[in-house]
Amino acid sequence: MNLVNLLNPLNPVNPVNPVNPVNPVNPVRRLAALLLLVALGVSLSAGLSAHDIPADTTVRAFIKPHGKQLHFLVRVQMASINDIDWPVHRADGTVDLARVEPFLRDASTLWIADYVDMYEAGTKLPYPTLTAVRLSNEGDPSFASYDDALAHVTGPRLPQDSRLMPTQGALDVLFDYPIQSDQSRFSFHPRWDRFGLRVVTVLRFLPPSRDVRAFEYEGGNIGRVTLDPEWYEAASSFVQTGVRHILDGPDHLLFLLCLVIPLRRFRALIPVISAFTIAHSVTLIASIYDMAPGASWFPPLIDTLVAMSIMYMALENIIVAAPRRRWVMAFGFGLVHGFGFAFALRQSVQFAGAHLLTSLLSFNLGLEIGQIAMLALMVPALHLLFRFVAPERAGTIVLSGLAAHTAWHWTLDRYTTLARFRFERPQLDAAFLANLMRWLMVMVALAFVLWLISVLRQSRQRRTVTEQKM
């Protein structure tokens, strides 16, 4: 008799003649089988919980091309490595250091080398040679610099009387990749998401004749990382980042929708979108160049103001049938949204290499490409909606009402976060005054741009009126 039949109360089966279901299975036997399954499930879940990956882990690495080899030094916490049957002492369960060497080598290849791809000038490098491997104590400071890490990994092993549990300490490894030249451009693609729920990578790239590149980012698999990009590589990458940020940002998309609902003509949209673009470009670039406040309350303040900007634009659409000077509001709120773009870009700036300004301009270009693509979808969709589904005024009120409702909830949630921070008055020191002077210069330049736009608009309006009279 199989276990399925034992557990199925609707299908009692004769154990002698399965075709003739005449003798019902004893309920006691069915209950016993069910308890057996529960016990097995508990045992399996207990075994799995013993190999849970850590919630937070840090991977430290150095990459240094030298001659015909690319040295890759990496440290991974032992708690992040599963499925290795480490040799242990029966008395206390600590690692048997006299027998652990081959297990460390297996873990290095199965958990690190198999999940890292190195590239030289776009060509994937062959599988690396495992040059050295060491087990380190908790808190070992060797990976503070490349020289210290190299000396540690190639130096003496831990004394055999050391006591480490299998989930304690760190696995330190030196891999060597064959390369054509240490002057080449290198990139790598780590897939370390198996190491923890939140993986932070701290990486240093040491090219022979260029400045050291420092990287620190969150995410076990963020894709291919170009260690020292050419300007066109940085430009291409940041254009894509800008497009993705617009398409993945619901708050910016909702603001854009509220901005264009009452317009819907590309000629009328040009000054509005241009004003928004100029404004967010200014604060984006200024923020990346450390002109924005560094206080912890500033990012949640900007998030709250972004939500409030959506709510304001939506309410204006409801109250005012034909809002005028919308480009002025777009400019003002664009200054706020620029800080939001900068926060999203801040982690990615480290991948710009020596091309920071190029990367900023490329990111901005990506934002505009994303905005134009969304406008190309929004404007025709609004035309069809107001022509075939709902009258223009009613449709505007309904759409704007939904946007205002969403933005109101965003504002409440973000203000709750903002209220947790303590606001402190800035110190009136030389750095504050210098930053204030830079912002005053920026404001003067922006005021000049606004005045110039206003003069051009008035000139065009006068020319239009003159042509109509003629």
How does residue 271 score in pLDDT terms, banded at 50, 70 and 90?
confident
Q: Is the pTM of this model over 0.85?
A: no
Residue carrying the six token digits 């693609």: 189
Residue 201 pLDDT greater than 80, yes or no: yes
pLDDT above 80 for 43: no
Mention every residue, 6+ apart, whose C-beta is less than 8 A from residue 236.
362
Per DSSP, the three-state class of 101 is helix
Burial of 112 (C-beta count, 10 Å sphere; 0-12/13-18/19+): buried
State the chain's mean pLDDT as an integer: 82
- Angstrom CA distances, 231 to 23, 244, 332, 372, 391, stand at 80, 20, 32, 25, 50
Give the pLDDT mean for 144-158. Answer: 93
* Residue 78 CA from chain centroid, whole number: 25
Distance (Å, whole) CA 187 – CA 193 = 18
Residues paired with residue 65 on neighbouring β-strands, in sequence order: 70
pLDDT of residue 17: 45
Q: What does the pLDDT look like over 282-327, one tens digit per residue? A: 888 888 887 777 778 888 999 999 999 999 999 999 998 777 778 8
Strands 56-66 and 198-205: parallel
Percentage of residues in the chain with pLDDT exceeding 70?
A: 79
The pLDDT of residue 323 is: 78
